[in-house]
Amino acid sequence: MTTAGGERDLVLALSGGVGGAKLVLGLSKVVPPGKLVVVANTGDDFEHFGLHVSPDVDTLLYTLAELGNPETGWGRRNETWTFMAALEVLGGETWFRLGDGDLATHVERTQRLKSGDRLSSIIADFARRFGIATKILPMTDDIVRTRVLTSGGWLDFQRYFVEQQCRPEVKDFSFEGATFARPHKDLIAALAEPTLRAVVICPSNPFISVDPILAVPGVRDALLHCNAPIVAVAPIIGGKAVKGPTAKMMRELGMDVSAAAVAHHYGSLLNGFVLDQADAVLAAELSVPTVSTSTLMRSLSDREQLAKVVLALADRLSEREGPSGSGRPRMSSTLS
Amino acid sequence: MTTAGGERDLVLALSGGVGGAKLVLGLSKVVPPGKLVVVANTGDDFEHFGLHVSPDVDTLLYTLAELGNPETGWGRRNETWTFMAALEVLGGETWFRLGDGDLATHVERTQRLKSGDRLSSIIADFARRFGIATKILPMTDDIVRTRVLTSGGWLDFQRYFVEQQCRPEVKDFSFEGATFARPHKDLIAALAEPTLRAVVICPSNPFISVDPILAVPGVRDALLHCNAPIVAVAPIIGGKAVKGPTAKMMRELGMDVSAAAVAHHYGSLLNGFVLDQADAVLAAELSVPTVSTSTLMRSLSDREQLAKVVLALADRLSEREGPSGSGRPRMSSTLS
């Protein structure tokens, strides 16, 4: 597929941690080397033991480096836990589990941040050292912190997510610092690329993984005006989240717990949607082209297969549209 | 042995890391529980990765908790090194080797220091959690940092000691911050105790392990006026250091490399001296009662045996003196 500007080969993915990283790995296998850019949520980042921890970035790094723990989806394979065991004996805080190898990432990132490096250049260097061809961008080099309004008041994200294991009832989210954050320039540049083939919103939690990215000023606009179709993959299968609190949050926020509700949440950003075959019937409810397939990613081949389906849908949407993309369908922002 | 004030049962030891900790462990086995106080050198402390590292304190903690690595004398047994391996891949600084379990000590200490705890109370809590009956005191809660003047200029201690592996020629030492440091109050209190049985200067490096303790204002005076004999154990056997750079430093400083030169270095502080049987002939050169024995501590029983010899010498010196200690011999500060 070509445009006047040459081959459309650049793919941009928006991703949180575990679920998103699985699809990103799939995409990295089917997109030519160097042609995949992943924008990572950094709203989950926090300071722990004086260390800057970037959970979603690290899950992407470890997954793409194939250093990830296949059991948990986060952390590193062949990890040891000597640090946590020793810390426990000393009465240290153990609610956030840091593996020994993982700790090195946080220590080295913190050192470099202190010496004045930007988060994005640190991630780029780590990716290079890990031999990762995919470009991983933090949504911003500025500080944005997700907070969760619960029935018991506002909580810092990791306190809610890890320490309280998502038990409190969720009422709202805020992305502190987002108002003044600047999107990473390469993210905005990628969205303006004539060679952009597709934007993929990974099957991550919409509220705490994707919305923080969309909250950075300029990102939503750049997405709305980009020259490529935007396709999201549902993180809900048969009314349940594959992993994590997405379904629980939707319930608590008074939403329908369904793939369709996720599509409506993204609203006019979407040009296409991919949901699980178990939810095929929901396609009729949606005002954008919707493909149903197996979205559960157990094996690497599942990931590649889903990536291919997503890109095929994007390519189909591109073929339909006029050269300016003006003919591309968009999701209506009200429920049909 | 009793005085008007009751039984003399309190033993105070001045110690650096490895060699000192071995004798301290021996002393802890032959002194009643709670009656051994160890004053640790903190001149080796430094900040690494934003963490407060206290090498000598930790060697004492691990040794007394019997968590120490018997091969190296420092660090922890059953240690893992996943952190360092991962850090190396990320291009981090690896000249100072931090084991995964050891890292927990530094992280937790740093957290507590940041929250306003004093180093001494942190050490006391760690010792309690490790089940250590011996009281470990840092020489001061203030910051004192050993620096080494080498032929190439001044070096921070760990840069000299670990990174450059003691290769540069030593010309002098300084203990930055010592002028304004306050000795730990329990150290001064212990030296004023009528129940003090002995002060033991462990077979640590005189220049970089014991001198920093003596450099804290008030410590030398309190030692000179304490009511118990002060006995040092030579860290030099047959003109060689058991471990570390003591002999090399003595040579570079233009000193005789001998146990006798160590005794003269401590000068009028000493009331008695213990040297290795290989150096028995040197006893004649010294103006304080000197005992020769096996000072190489390979086994726990070696440590206990040496501790017994040291305390027996101290007890003998106490018996000789009048009630005020005025009759106790002191080392002359010039070579005999």
pLDDT tens for A121-150 read: 999 999 999 999 999 999 999 999 999 999
Could you tell me the two tokens for A107?
A: 């220590």
**Residue B91 to residue A49, Cβ atoms within 8 A:** no
Q: Which CATH superfamily is domain B2-320 in?
A: CofD-like domains (3.40.50.10680)
- Does the pLDDT at position B1 exceed 70? no
**N-terminal to C-terminal alpha carbon distance within chain B:** 32
- Does the pLDDT at position B168 exceed 80? yes
- Does the pLDDT at position A80 exceed 80? yes
> Which pLDDT score, from 0 to 100, does residue A329 have?
73
Least CB-CB distance to A90: which of B91, B100, B108? B108
> Which pLDDT score, from 0 to 100, does residue B2 have?
46
Distance CA A200, CA A218 (A): 18
Angle of CA points A67, A71, A73, to nearest 5°: 60
Element (H, E) at A127: helix A119-129
% of residues, chain B, pLDDT over 70 = 94
> Which pLDDT score, from 0 to 100, does residue B106 have?
98
**To probe the interface with A, which of B89, B113, B115, B123 has the most A CB atoms within 10 Å?**
B89
Rounded to 5 degrees, φ, ψ at B144 are -125, 130
Q: Sorting pLDDT into bands at 50, 70 and 90, what band is A328?
A: low
**Residue B90 to residue A101, Cβ atoms within 8 A:** no
**Residue B50 to residue A110, Cβ atoms within 8 A:** yes
**Residue B50 to residue A89, Cβ atoms within 8 A:** no
Distance CA B10, CA B137 (A): 14
Find the residue in B nearest to A84 (Cα): B104
- Give A56 or A334, the one with higher predicted confidence: A56
> Which pLDDT score, from 0 to 100, does residue A335 have?
44
Least CB-CB distance to B49: which of A80, A91, A111? A111
CB A63 within 8 A of CB A164: no
Across A188-217, average pLDDT: 97
**To probe the interface with A, which of B83, B93, B111 has the most A CB atoms within 10 Å?**
B83
Across A189-207, average pLDDT: 97
ipTM attached to this prediction: 0.91
- Does the pLDDT at position B62 exceed 60? yes
Q: Is B125 on the interface with A (CB under 8 A)?
A: yes
- Does the pLDDT at position A1 exceed 70? no
- Does the pLDDT at position B328 exceed 80? no
CB B26 within 8 A of CB A88: no
Find the residue in A nearest to B67 (Cα): A86
Residues of chain B neighbouring A102 (CB-CB closer than 8 A)? 86
**Residue B82 to residue A100, Cβ atoms within 8 A:** yes
Task: Please enumerate in sequence order all residues whose Cβ is within 8 A of that of B281, keeping only pairs 6 or more positions apart, or say none.
Answer: none
Could you tell me the two tokens for A27?
A: 């995409």
User: How far does B91 lie from chain A, in Å, by closest CA?
Assistant: 8
Residues of chain B neighbouring A69 (CB-CB closer than 8 A)? none
Q: What is the dihedral of CA B192, B195, B197, B200, to 10 degrees?
A: -40
**Residue B129 to residue A86, Cβ atoms within 8 A:** no
**Residue A80 to residue B85, Cβ atoms within 8 A:** no
Per-residue pLDDT tens digits for B116-127: 999 999 999 999
Per-residue pLDDT tens digits for B128-147: 999 999 999 999 999 999 99
Query: Taking the domain A2-72+119-145+185-320, which CATH number applies?
Result: 3.40.50.10680
Residues of chain B neighbouring A110 (CB-CB closer than 8 A)? 49-50
> Which pLDDT score, from 0 to 100, does residue B331 have?
77
For chain B, what are the domain ranges? 2-320
- Does the pLDDT at position B242 exceed 90? no
pTM above 0.80, yes or no: yes
